């Protein structure tokens, strides 16, 4: 978990909003309750009072009922959620990839290729023997993960194609989990 502090700096009558990196902390639990307890302990050890907090931006937004936001708000109702600019920009990229049927279909196919290989140890091993970089799964809420998935797929496309052809011809290769189990299905991509 990364800790950043945003604060208002007043100097010579001028106000500015500052943001400073404080620390990386290991999170031992991922629930809203546990994370909020860890945050409170960290703030206490840094001698930062939660009662002076006027905004928060926790990435564990499991909800306004059980996420970190809810637990911190119970302690300090002036600690309102302030969305992160970077997260908003990330969502622009995520939603831009979902405005076109062609784009949606493309990302679905990239994910289906990843799933096809990752759901079988034999298929995954056959792929790893032929490629330079592992195929990657994309995450719907992280735009950079889509870029990483496409880049890995594009760099390995000739090898992936050869492995798929070999799998199609080989009867012993497991087909469960693969939607493209015939030669024309592989070519559709």
Residues in Cβ contact with 81 at an 8 Å cutoff, skipping those fewer than 6 apart: 55, 56, 57, 58, 61, 69
In angstroms, rounded to a whole number, what is the distance separating the alpha carbons of residues 180 and 168?
A: 9
Position 189 scores a pLDDT of 45
Scan for tokens 């990483």, then name that residue: 148
pLDDT at 88 over 70: no
Q: What is the pLDDT of residue 14?
A: 92
Residue 10: per-residue pLDDT:
92
Angle at CA 167, nearest 5°, toward 161 and 168? 90
183 has a pLDDT exceeding 50: no
How much helix, strand and coil, in percent to the nearest 5, is found in the chain?
50, 15, 35
The packing angle between helices 85-96 and 143-155, to 10°, is 50
58: left (phi over 0), alpha (psi -120 to 50) or beta: beta
| Cα–Cα dist 137/152, whole Å | 10
Residue range 29-75, pLDDT digits in tens: 778 888 888 888 988 998 888 887 776 666 555 455 577 878 888 88
Collapsing DSSP to helix, strand or coil, 155 comes out as helix
pLDDT digits (tens, 9 = 90+) for 115-161: 888 888 888 888 888 887 788 887 776 667 778 888 888 888 888 88
Tokens representing residue 89 in the block: 């920009």
Query: In degrees, to the nearest 5, what angle opens at C-alpha 169 toward C-alphas 164 and 175?
Result: 65
Contact of 6 with 45, CB cutoff 8 Å: no
The pLDDT score that the predictor gives to residue 103 is 80
Backbone angles phi, psi at 130, to 5 degrees: -115, -15
User: Residue 93 to residues 103, 109, 142, 151: CA-CA distances in angstroms?
Assistant: 12, 19, 8, 16
Domain spans of the chain, in order of start:
2-83, 87-172
């Amino acid at each position: 978990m990364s800790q950043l502090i945003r604060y208002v700096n007043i100097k010579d009558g001028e106000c500015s909003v500052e943001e400073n990196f404080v620390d990386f902390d290991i999170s031992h639990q991922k629930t809203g309750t546990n994370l909020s307890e860890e945050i409170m302990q960290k703030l206490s050890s840094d001698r930062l009072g939660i009662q002076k907090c006027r905004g928060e931006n926790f990435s564990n937004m499991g909800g306004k009922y059980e996420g970190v936001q809810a637990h911190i708000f119970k302690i300090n109702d002036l600690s309102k959620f302030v969305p992160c600019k970077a997260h908003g920009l990330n969502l622009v990229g995520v939603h831009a990839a979902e405005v076109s049927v062609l784009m949606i279909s493309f990302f679905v196919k990239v994910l289906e290729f990843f799933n096809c290989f990752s759901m079988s140890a034999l298929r995954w091993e056959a792929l790893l023997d032929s490629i330079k970089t592992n195929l990657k799964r994309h995450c719907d809420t992280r735009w950079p993960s889509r870029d990483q998935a496409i880049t890995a797929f594009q760099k390995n496309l000739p090898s992936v194609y050869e492995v798929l052809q070999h799998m199609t011809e080989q009867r012993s290769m497991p087909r469960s989990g693969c939607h493209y189990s015939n030669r024309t299905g592989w070519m559709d991509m």
